A = this chain, B = another copy of it.
């Protein structure tokens, strides 16, 4: 199985063309769209989408993570194996979401793709690599072990005495604000949040329907990260936050 994470959106034919290339190489398996709405060029958002989705896929799934502001420059393309899955991605920091002690990383030799465009490696290189790995195995990928890859830290949070500094890493369709703060940091003492210099009291809950009307809830999110939410309302609008905004939480 091949699964796709990109910032291509779906207004363009880019995703369809990537699939066309994969199938043109003879691949006959499934291709699953995980997300094509990564915030354009955002390494951190790509890390969030990847981290919260890949574990739910079958063993040996090949993930293409194409969020690639440096496309066409000298940046490397990485192949990563964590013992269960394979990942292709540009060497731009996304790989920092893995525990580096649990993965094996290769730099892919892309010299053979002499006719690749400068601006669409998803089609001209990544799609070719994914179909080849799926059909012929890792021996068919020209690559060498590589340890000096770029690592953007993820998740990002900082705990100082009674304050947690973190950020909104994702806002879902319902407006729920997911923080770059793992559920392991959840505590019933986390009773307030400051966003844009305003302080809000938080209501602890297990699910959205528990939250009283107009209250702002906090819960352990299904993605593994703490969420700020309301009951059938868009809390991101209420707090006027966007993806990437800094927030502070308080233990009280």
Q: Which residues of A does B touch, CB under 8 Å?
A: 1, 3, 5, 7-17, 19-21, 23-24, 30, 32-37, 40-41, 49, 52-53, 56-58, 61, 69-73, 117-120, 123-124, 170, 172-174, 206-210, 219, 221-223, 227, 232
On whether A173 and B9 interact (CB within 8 A), knowing A23-B32, A73-B207, the answer reads yes
Given contacts A5-B13, A118-B222, 9 further A-B contacts (CB under 8 A): A7-B173, A10-B35, A11-B37, A23-B57, A24-B57, A56-B123, A71-B208, A119-B221, A119-B227
Least Cβ–Cβ distance between A22 and chain B, in angstroms: 10
On whether A53 and B119 interact (CB within 8 A), knowing A12-B35, A69-B208, A173-B11, the answer reads no
Are A72 and B207 within 8 A (Cβ)?
yes
Complex interface: chain B residues within 8 A of A16 (CB): 3, 32-35, 53
Least Cβ–Cβ distance between A216 and chain B, in angstroms: 16
Complex interface: chain B residues within 8 A of A119 (CB): 207-208, 219, 221-222, 227
Least Cβ–Cβ distance between A196 and chain B, in angstroms: 22
> Dominant SS at the A interface?
loop
Complex interface: chain B residues within 8 A of A173 (CB): 7-9, 11-12, 14, 40
A20: contacting residue among B57, B73, B222, CB under 8 A: B57
For this chain, the copies found in one complex come to 3
Are B56 and A12 within 8 A (Cβ)?
no
Complex interface: chain B residues within 8 A of A58 (CB): 20, 23-24
Are B32 and A11 within 8 A (Cβ)?
no
A49: contacting residue among B3, B13, B30, CB under 8 A: B13
Q: How far is the CA of A209 from the CA of B9 in the complex (A)?
A: 20
Complex interface: chain B residues within 8 A of A5 (CB): 13
Least Cβ–Cβ distance between A134 and chain B, in angstroms: 14
Complex interface: chain B residues within 8 A of A20 (CB): 3, 32, 34, 53, 56-58, 61
Q: How far is the CA of A23 from the CA of B57 in the complex (A)?
A: 7
Complex interface: chain B residues within 8 A of A210 (CB): 72-73
Least Cβ–Cβ distance between A124 and chain B, in angstroms: 8
Selected A-B contacts with CB under 8 Å, 25 pairs:
A1-B23, A3-B20, A9-B173, A10-B33, A10-B35, A10-B37, A11-B172, A13-B35, A13-B53, A14-B172, A15-B33, A16-B53, A23-B30, A23-B58, A40-B173, A41-B232, A71-B207, A71-B208, A72-B208, A73-B207, A73-B210, A118-B219, A119-B207, A119-B221, A124-B222
